[in-house]
Amino acid sequence: GEDVEQSLFLSVREGDSSVINCTYTDSSSTYLYWYKQEPGAGLQLLTYIFSNMDMKQDQRLTVLLNKKDKHLSLRIADTQTGDSAIYFCASAGDAGNMLTFGGGTRLMVKP
């Protein structure tokens, strides 16, 4: 089945850029997502990208997709302490709405 991998932890200083990486195995993945989970809360959809795109920008967030390498990244510009959270990458194919989630990357932003 589909497998989605992420590094466990990232620490950055406030004001720096953060880059969170993700790899997936299913080449037929059509939709790729980034979710954010703050402590004690559910997962919140941040952004998503279709597999026919290679970049999507939304304010401080930039998603890059390298379909050949099955690599997805999320760049957060000017990272703030409020960005501290767990970030999940997820993929979905064409059929159905089932998402496969990575293990999550805990982002810690130091003041």
Partner 1 sequence: DAGVIQSPRHEVTEMGQEVTLRCKPISGHDYLFWYRQTMMRGLELLIYFNNNVPIDDSGMPEDRFSAKMPNASFSTLKIQPSEPRDSAVYFCASSNSARRELFFGEGSRLTVL
- Interaction site with partner 1 (CB under 8 A): 31, 33, 35, 41-45, 48, 88, 90, 92, 96-99, 101, 103-104
Which residue, 79 or 104, is less far from partner 1 as judged by CB? 104
Supply the minimum distance, in Å, between the C-beta of residue 86 and partner 1: 10
The distance of closest approach from Cβ of residue 56 to partner 1 in the complex, given in angstroms and rounded to an integer, is 14
Of the chain, the end-to-end C-alpha distance in Å amounts to: 40
Smallest distance from partner 1 to CB 6, Å: 10
Q: Do 5 and 22 form a contact (C-beta atoms < 8 A)? A: yes
The angle formed by the CA atoms of residues 64, 32 and 56, to the nearest 5 degrees, is 35
Look at residues 110, 81, 78, 92 and name the one whose alpha carbon lies nearest to residue 35.
92
Nearer to partner 1, 41 or 55 (CB): 41
